[in-house]
């Protein structure tokens, strides 16, 4: 056992990198669920974003364009879901699952000619004196811009949801779409916009995997990250701040256990791997024990909405 | 996760069911893969074997495959469906399919099954594997010669004999040419998860490893090593030549095609019988990918000499004296390991640190 081999600043740095895709995707899903829609297609939208971002970044040589394309790709795919669920009132759970299968298939089709290619690298930001700080410089202030964008987006999502009229409307729709409709709020318009946002964020998360974290394109490379993002939303009891904690906890545990193993610490890997899921279950139990009704889930979550005349 | 898997299973059944009507006198061969055929590694090579079967037999054969099948109950369903839809021979290509294969085979005595990397057989079940550890020894030699930090990282998948054998073989060969060498093993508990594999590679590199060996299926560790620079890696299961000459300096390539063609032929001729096959470098089931120019010429020559010696049977990667990790004697001077012990290997050799998880 040689704990000194672990460099804390490098570990924190890779923790942030490992958590960013989860954070992005979970934030997007949070907004979707806050609007009362359950989109289980996160995995499919992530992997679609991963290949769209990868392909465009490779073709154009610009990671920024790649991330833009990833957001567009994810949003476009989510519109299929939006049209089916909002327009045709299809079952949200089944449609979301179908979206995942569709996304996985579509991405491997699109990605066939991109196997084994190196993407243009996304440079680390130089934050001047901040990057030179001991420990903190390497751990927090020498990442690529996407890491900071994801943190900024966390704040932005929190602010919009809790401090703006748009956010209030969105939450009202998620809590009771019939009442919101009676008030003259545009239920379908808000929901469609939320779904598109969720798709774009999942796409960004996927592109972060293929452009920065791995970086390469491999079929099926999200390997369940979309499902973890869904779990994080529940874990966070639908709050933006806790999404950040959840994502860093999930990402952090992965990185921590790999580092501990590499340092030769004898430790039951299985337990660390399952711990985030256990915590999620625990959070759910604690939440449902609280009083009678108040689970934190939006009350209209997953219910179809059909405007009554 | 469960939901997606269930659904994938269901989708697989639907896809296969539609094929059930295409019954004729063609020999129908099924393949079940643990990862996507585009993983660039393990499943990719099995699929290359399938394509070789198609090319060899042309119209006389029909192949079907199902990719990304989880090890467990879903695998059993997929196999059952393949058998029901008229497959004559089914290759199940991951260790974790062993018990599902045995279960399904018992229900379909007329269908032949071939399970990769396991140890069980039945009247209609053969098993086959490659002596990857022979290739691991060659990698270990190169790793031991090339490392400057004397720290070699090893991304392992599951604690099964095949993986443990690989670690031991690589370590023994590295130790032989570089007594100071140290192995850090990370168990990823997955065959395929590019993000996790990349994270594992990064953790090892950050802790000073300048050589990373992998026993997982994707090329993600190669990408992570390329990103880090000055780290060498080896292709696993497939050549992974797109990362040559650096970081990938060589590779182990699984060549299943001759075996698959042979077994399909046996089914056609009615001569198929249950057996265990374990072939190595000599018959060509394990190939050593081109050693790149990043390796100095003398090291390359040494590695090729070891490869030839193993192929000719002159050298065995497990030749005594070798002690087990706890210091107890395993092989005495000059003694070589028997296949039974190798097939069930569940211990580290002396010098490796850490425990094998259960």
A95-104: pLDDT as tens digits:
999 999 999 9
Set of chain B residues whose Cβ sits within 8 Å of the Cβ of A18: 195, 199
Report the top-level CATH class of B132-253+288-343: alpha beta
- Position B20 scores a pLDDT of 43
Query: How do B61-66 and B89-92 pair as beta strands?
Result: unpaired
Is the model more confident about A285 or about A197? A197
Closest alpha carbon within chain B to A3: B207
Closest alpha carbon within chain B to A113: B38
Q: Which of B119, B123, B199 is nearest to B155 (CA)?
A: B199
Distance from CA of B153 to the nearest CA of A (A): 8
Set of chain A residues whose Cβ sits within 8 Å of the Cβ of B194: 209, 214, 216, 218, 221, 223
Rounded to 5°, angle at Cα A139 from B202 and B211? 20
User: Is A219 in contact with B38 (Cβ distance < 8 A)?
Assistant: yes
ipTM, two decimals: 0.82
Nearest-angstrom CA–CA distance, B211 and B232: 5
Closest alpha carbon within chain B to A267: B357
Is the model more confident about A262 or about A205? A205
Backbone CA torsion sign across A183, A185, A191, A197: negative
Please name the member of B4, B192, B227 whose beta carbon is closest to the beta carbon of A227.
B4
Which of B3, B7, B67, B207 would you mutate first to test chain A, the one with the most A CBs within 10 A?
A: B207
- Position B2 scores a pLDDT of 46
Please name the fold of domain B2-130. Answer: Rossmann fold (3.40.50)
Q: Which of B283, B313, B317, B287 is nearest to B141 (CA)?
A: B317
SS3 assignment, position B82: helix
- DSSP-assigned beta bridge partners for residue A11: none
- Position B22 scores a pLDDT of 44
Distance from CA of A235 to the nearest CA of B (A): 16
- Position B119 scores a pLDDT of 86
User: Is A118 in contact with B226 (Cβ distance < 8 A)?
Assistant: yes
Set of chain B residues whose Cβ sits within 8 Å of the Cβ of A6: 206-207
The CA–CA distances, whole Å, from A100 to A43, A55, B191, B245, B325 equal 6, 20, 21, 37, 46
Distance from CA of B168 to the nearest CA of A (A): 16
Instruction: Please give the average per-residue pLDDT across A300-309, as a whole number.
Output: 83
Check residue B182 and report its DSSP letter.
E
Distance from CA of B274 to the nearest CA of A (A): 35
- Position B329 scores a pLDDT of 92
The DSSP result for A75-135, as a single string, is: HHHHHHHHIIIIIS---HHHHHHHHHHHHHHHHHHHGGGGTTPPPPP-PBP--THHHHSTT
Closest alpha carbon within chain B to A211: B223
User: Is B357 in contact with A40 (Cβ distance < 8 A)?
Assistant: no
**All domains of chain A in start order, with CATH:** 3-289 (1.10.3470)
User: Is B203 in contact with A5 (Cβ distance < 8 A)?
Assistant: no
User: Is B38 in contact with A112 (Cβ distance < 8 A)?
Assistant: yes
Cβ-proximal residues to B221 (8 Å cutoff; 6+ apart), any chain: B155, B197, B198, B200, B201, B212, B214, B233
Closest alpha carbon within chain B to A224: B1
The answer to whether the beta carbons of residues A48 and A75 sit under 8 Å apart is no
Please name the member of B192, B223, B357 whose beta carbon is closest to the beta carbon of A214.
B223
pLDDT in tens, A90-125: 999 999 999 999 999 999 899 988 887 888 888 887
- Position B95 scores a pLDDT of 92
Residue A2 pLDDT level (bands cut at 50, 70, 90): low
User: Is A214 in contact with B184 (Cβ distance < 8 A)?
Assistant: no
The CA–CA distances, whole Å, from B170 to A119, B38, B135, B322, B342 equal 32, 27, 8, 14, 14
Set of chain B residues whose Cβ sits within 8 Å of the Cβ of A21: 195
pLDDT in tens, B122-148: 999 999 999 999 999 999 999 999 999
User: Is A270 in contact with B357 (Cβ distance < 8 A)?
Assistant: yes
- Position B1 scores a pLDDT of 42
Q: Is A290 a residue whose pLDDT tops 80?
A: no
Residues of chain B with pLDDT under 50: 1-4, 13-23
The answer to whether the beta carbons of residues A194 and A75 sit under 8 Å apart is no
Which of B202, B244, B355 would you mutate first to test chain A, the one with the most A CBs within 10 A?
A: B202
- Position B37 scores a pLDDT of 87
Q: Is A289 a residue whose pLDDT tops 80?
A: no
Question: Angle formed by the axes of helices A8-34 and A240-262, to 10°?
Answer: 150
Domain-by-domain residue ranges, chain B?
2-130, 132-253+288-343
- Position A294 scores a pLDDT of 56
């Amino acid at each position: 056992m040689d704990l000194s081999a672990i460099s804390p600043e490098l570990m924190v740095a890779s923790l942030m990198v490992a958590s960013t895709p989860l954070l992005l995707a979970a934030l997007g899903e949070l907004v979707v669920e806050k609007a009362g829609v359950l989109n289980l297609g996160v995995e499919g939208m992530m992997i679609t974003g991963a290949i769209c971002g990868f392909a465009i970044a490779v073709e154009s040589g610009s990671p920024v364009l790649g991330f833009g394309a990833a957001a567009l790709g994810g949003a476009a795919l989510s519109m299929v879901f939006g049209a089916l669920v909002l327009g045709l009132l299809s079952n949200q759970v089944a449609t979301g699952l179908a979206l995942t299968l569709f996304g996985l298939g579509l991405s491997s089709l699109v990605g066939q000619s991109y196997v084994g290619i190196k993407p243009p690298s996304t440079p680390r930001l130089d934050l001047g004196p901040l990057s030179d700080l001991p420990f903190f410089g390497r751990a927090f202030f020498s990442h690529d811009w996407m890491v900071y964008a994801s943190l900024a987006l966390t704040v932005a999502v929190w602010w919009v949801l809790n401090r703006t009229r748009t956010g209030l409307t969105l939450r009202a729709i998620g809590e009771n779409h019939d009442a919101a409709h009676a008030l003259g709020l545009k239920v379908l318009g808000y929901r469609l916009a939320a779904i598109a946002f969720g798709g774009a964020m999942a796409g960004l998360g996927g592109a972060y995997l293929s452009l920065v974290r791995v970086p390469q394109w491999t079929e099926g490379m999200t390997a369940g990250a979309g499902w973890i993002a869904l779990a994080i939303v529940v874990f966070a009891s639908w709050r933006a701040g806790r999404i950040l904690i959840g994502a860093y906890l999930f990402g952090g545990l992965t990185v921590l256990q790999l580092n501990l193993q590499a340092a030769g610490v004898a430790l039951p890997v299985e337990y660390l791997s399952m711990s985030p899921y256990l915590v999620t279950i625990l959070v759910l139990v604690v939440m449902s024990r609280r009083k009678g009704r108040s689970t934190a889930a939006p009350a209209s979550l997953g219910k179809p909405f059909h405007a009554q005349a | 996760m469960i939901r997606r898997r269930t659904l994938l299973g269901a989708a697989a059944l639907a896809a296969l069911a539609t094929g059930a009507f295409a019954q004729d006198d063609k020999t129908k061969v099924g393949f079940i893969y643990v990862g996507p055929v585009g993983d660039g590694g393990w499943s990719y090579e099995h699929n290359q074997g399938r394509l070789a079967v198609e090319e060899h037999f042309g119209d006389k054969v029909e192949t079907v495959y199902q990719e990304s099948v989880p090890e467990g109950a879903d695998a059993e369903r997929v196999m059952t469906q393949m058998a029901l839809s008229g497959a004559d021979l089914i290759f199940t290509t991951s260790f974790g399919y062993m018990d599902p294969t045995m279960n399904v085979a018992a229900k379909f005595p007329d269908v032949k099954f071939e399970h990769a990397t396991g140890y069980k057989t039945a009247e209609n079940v053969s098993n086959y594997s490659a002596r990857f550890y022979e290739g691991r020894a060659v990698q270990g030699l190169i790793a031991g010669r090339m490392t400057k930090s004397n720290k070699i990282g090893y991304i392992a998948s599951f604690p099964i004999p095949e993986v443990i054998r690989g670690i031991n073989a690589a370590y023994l060969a590295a130790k032989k040419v570089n007594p100071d060498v140290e192995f850090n093993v990370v168990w990823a508990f997955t065959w395929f998860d590019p993000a996790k594999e990349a994270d594992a590679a990064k953790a090892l590199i950050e802790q000073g490893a300048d050589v990373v060996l992998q026993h997982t299926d994707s090329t993600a560790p190669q990408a992570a090593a390329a990103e880090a620079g000055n780290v060498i890696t080896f292709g696993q299961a497939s050549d992974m030549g797109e990362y040559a000459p650096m970081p990938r300096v060589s590779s182990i390539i699984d060549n299943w095609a001759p075996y698959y063609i042979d077994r399909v032929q046996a089914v056609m001729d009615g001569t198929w019988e249950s057996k265990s096959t374990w072939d190595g470098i000599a018959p060509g089931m394990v190939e050593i990918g081109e050693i790149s120019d990043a390796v100095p010429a003398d090291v390359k020559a040494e590695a090729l000499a070891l490869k030839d010696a193993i192929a000719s049977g002159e050298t065995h990667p497990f030749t005594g004296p070798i002690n087990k990790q706890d210091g107890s004697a395993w092989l005495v001077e000059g003694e070589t390991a028997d296949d039974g012990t190798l097939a069930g290997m569940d211990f580290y050799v002396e010098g490796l640190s850490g425990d094998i998880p259960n």
